Amino acid sequence: MRKLLDKTLVVASHNAGKIREIRDLIGPLGFAAKSAADLNFVEPEETGTTFEENATIKALASAKAAGLPALSDDSGLVVDALGGAPGVYTANWAEREDGSRDFAMAMEKVEKALKEKGATTPDSRTARFVSVLCLAWPDGHVELFRGEVEGKVVWPPRGTSGFGYDPVFQPEGYDITFGEMSAEEKHGWKPGEAKALSHRARAFKLFAETCLGA
Ligand SMILES: O=c1nc[nH]c2c1ncn2[C@H]1C[C@H](O)[C@@H](COP(=O)(O)OP(=O)(O)OP(=O)(O)O)O1
Ligand SMILES: [Mg+2]
């Protein structure tokens, strides 16, 4: 495992909601971070078939372009009744023909697919959010960290916090969705704490412990 010595890194993402969450998580650790979006880096094509492959593609592209370590996140919603869909294609399900994104439409698509499978009872709607973080250096070295959170897809959507599919995801043990939680509640983690809640915070905790000793 390579330690991260620099205190400057690039957040290798173009998703504003995700960049905000990663900034929240790294801020207390004393990092200054620009995002790939701030730096006008082109979005690399996510041609992989796993979260790990896509996270690696994104982190390496930013690390090489910036000459700095870069941290990417590839994530998605894995729904059991849909055979794991949308999975690595979670962002694609939100894409309109003009390339813009519509997550209200994406959540409707998931709901429609679940109805088609007859998955109407809470027990038949189990799902998990997965986040794979990749820390890449300009020399090509990479470290990967995976976090998952189990829960259920609910309908109708509830809450306006967070981003993406947050309003339809209710984590196990809670009666509110990620969309009804503050950012702090959704992360459920601060440096040094033993537990984290969100998939991203769980992966981030591994990253912080492994590469930062935090
Ligand atoms: O905590 C989350 N809460 C709600 N939805 C989420 C979350 N985490 C991932 N998601 C969904 C939306 C996102 O669009 C897709 C990931 O797709 P993914 O390719 O990794 O990210 P992206 O294209 O939005 O940004 P980028 O690749 O520039 O980092 O899964
Ligand atoms: Mg993407």
Classify residue 207 as exposed, middle or buried by CB count within 10 Å of its CB (0-12, 13-18, 19+). Answer: buried
Nearest CA to ligand 1 atom 14: 91
**210-213, Cβ contacts within 8 angstroms, sequence gap of 24 or more:** 210/1, 210/143, 210/145, 211/1, 211/2, 211/3, 211/4, 211/135, 211/143, 212/3, 212/4, 212/29, 213/3
Residue 54 tokens, joined: 């896509």
Options 24, 74, 123, 175, the catalytic residue: 74
Q: What secondary structure letter does DSSP report for 154?
A: -
First to last CA, the chain: 15
Q: Where are the domains of the chain?
A: 8-212
| C-beta of residue 214 within 8 angstroms of C-beta of residue 192 | yes
16 is in an annotated binding site: yes
> pLDDT tens for residues 33-84?
999 999 999 999 999 999 999 999 999 999 999 999 999 999 999 999 999 9
123 is catalytic: no
Which of 19, 56, 74, 75 maximizes ligand 1 atoms within 8 Å of its Cβ, making it the mutation to test the pocket? Answer: 75
Q: Position of tokens 């809670």? A: 174
> Is 8-212 assigned to CATH 3.40.50.150?
no
Q: What is the pTM of this model?
A: 0.97
What ipTM describes this predicted complex? 0.99
Q: 91 CB under 6 A from ligand 1? A: yes
